[in-house]
Homo-oligomer: A and B are copies of this chain.
Amino acid sequence: MAKKPSLPKGTRDFSPQEVAKRLYIMDTIKSSFQLYGFQPIETPSFENSETLMGKYGEEGDRLIFKILNSGDYLNKVDEELFSLKDSAKLTPKISEKALRYDLTVPFARYVVQHQNEIIFPFKRYQMQTVWRADRPQKGRFREFCQCDADVVGSNSLWQEVELVQLYDDVFTKLKLEGCTIKINNRKILSGIAEVIGADDKLVDFTVALDKLDKIGEEGVKKELLEKGITGQAIKKLQPLFSFTGNNEEKLISLSQLLNTSDTGKKGIEEIVFVIKNIQSLGLKSSKIELDVTLARGLNYYTGAIFEVSAPENVQIGSIGGGGRYDDLTGIFGLKGVSGVGISFGLDRIYLVLEELQLFPKKVLENTKVLFINFGEAEALYAMQAITKLRKEGITAELYPDADKMGKQMAYADKRQIPYVVLAGGNEIEAKTFTLKRMKNGEQEVLTMDKLVNFLL
């Protein structure tokens, strides 16, 4: 007896209904990417290990899925190393390839490798699967799809403006109104650290600040003290704890706090450019909000930092994020190429649309009409009609076997097919079709032409 089959943890099968809903989201994102002039690229699922390793920190390296070399892979491992039985040391000898961990590093590799064919500034989008050997939990999987748009080769802040518009465009199309696009800037965070004399503790400082929502003002202050930031420095931070009002008001108090830091002032200038222009252009359904606690992968970003929150009535983490990184391709030897990009969290957006019941009904529609099978001659008559319907783009099916009527009707019902056609000897003789509405059982007799017109 075969063992009951199962899936590796953190991976999923997608049923037709789930695929249809996921495709609805992905197609919506894709249409906005294209509307904004982004072009698709694709990269392989696995890369040479050296392309990926060392790019995501120690923790990241551990979470990368490694692929075992083919054939007699132990043959080339020298005896001494082998005898150590040390997993970490053996891995590079028996695995040369690894599954991609994100789309950013492969994109950087792509840009460097194809720099002579690419027309810069290069606006690319990429919607592909990535893999992480992370502990699976609700909404976190080991295999998931990333949807990224990035521009490389331009420092223009108009890109930041467009990326905010792009988020707004996608969420509006998905009828997910009331999203908040939070914006911050690495230079503002650096400026704050500078002003309080904690340049060297930027990460500690940011990690603590990021928890303001959860642990409150006193909690943050306690953590800062523990990390060795002085009480005097923390006092200077006071304006951040009473950081309220609209974006303009926040920018004014931030300007006062950072008036001695050139870096900080530069960061404010960049944010002002983005917010001011977004206000001139208008957003359709989202709002933009300055959030100085926003840090997201701080070591990575050099300018703008983005994060999107779902509407307030939904309890879920961020549904998108991104930012500017000024040396994306430097790791592969191409210096001075600035990039800025955003990402959509497909799985979370799916959960939000589900919770708010925002999936349009038509997403799940498939076959429009099922022809009942009464036997070989009748089936041929049905297939002739089906062939004509399909020519008109109408999705029609023949029930494949001449099973009992009840079984065939139950099939149409379960598949949520709205119409069935019954065509037996009488219909064949009269060259007609009996069309039955599954909803209420009403039926009418139609010619081929009328049937096409009805179902179109």
Q: Please tell me if the beta carbons of A65 and B70 are within 8 angstroms of each other in the complex.
A: yes
Q: Is the interface of A mostly helix, strand, loop or mixed?
A: mixed
Nearest CB in chain B: distance from A86 CB, A: 7
Restricting to A14-63, which residues have a CB under 8 Å from any CB of B?
14-16, 19-20, 23, 34-37, 39-48, 50-51, 62-63
Q: Please tell me if the beta carbons of B1 and A35 are within 8 angstroms of each other in the complex.
A: no
Q: Please tell me if the beta carbons of A37 and B7 are within 8 angstroms of each other in the complex.
A: no
Q: Please tell me if the beta carbons of B151 and A400 are within 8 angstroms of each other in the complex.
A: yes
Known: A85-B82, A281-B387. A39 touches B3 (CB 8 A): no
Question: Of A183-191, A238-246, A378-386, which binds chain B?
Answer: A378-386
Nearest CB in chain B: distance from A179 CB, A: 18
Rounded to whole angstroms, the CA-CA distance of A11 and B109 in the bound complex is 14
Q: How many copies does the complex hold?
A: 2
Q: Please tell me if the beta carbons of B119 and A95 are within 8 angstroms of each other in the complex.
A: no
Nearest-neighbor residue (CB-CB) of A131 within chain B: B45
Known: A8-B47, A143-B44. A39 touches B68 (CB 8 A): no
Q: Is A124 an interface residue (CB 8 A)?
A: yes
Known: A41-B19, A45-B131, A67-B66. A8 touches B119 (CB 8 A): no
Question: Which residues does chain B contribute within 8 Å of A169, judged by CB atoms?
Answer: 390
Q: Please tell me if the beta carbons of B68 and A41 are within 8 angstroms of each other in the complex.
A: no
Q: Is A2 an interface residue (CB 8 A)?
A: yes
Question: Which residues does chain B contribute within 8 Å of A34, judged by CB atoms?
Answer: 366, 395
Known: A13-B113, A158-B400, A395-B35. A74 touches B86 (CB 8 A): yes
A-B contact pairs, 21 of them (CB 8 A): A2-B331, A2-B332, A5-B51, A5-B332, A11-B44, A13-B43, A14-B42, A16-B124, A23-B40, A35-B390, A36-B397, A37-B395, A62-B71, A65-B67, A65-B68, A72-B87, A74-B86, A74-B90, A75-B87, A119-B414, A155-B401
Query: Interface residues, chain A, CB within 8 Å of chain B?
Result: 1-8, 11-16, 19-20, 23, 34-37, 39-48, 50-51, 62-63, 65-68, 70-75, 77, 82, 85-88, 90-91, 94-97, 99, 109-110, 112-114, 117, 119, 121, 123-124, 129, 131, 133, 143, 151, 154-156, 158-159, 161-162, 165, 169, 277, 280-282, 330-333, 366-367, 373, 379-380, 383-384, 387, 390, 393, 395-398, 400-401, 411, 414-415
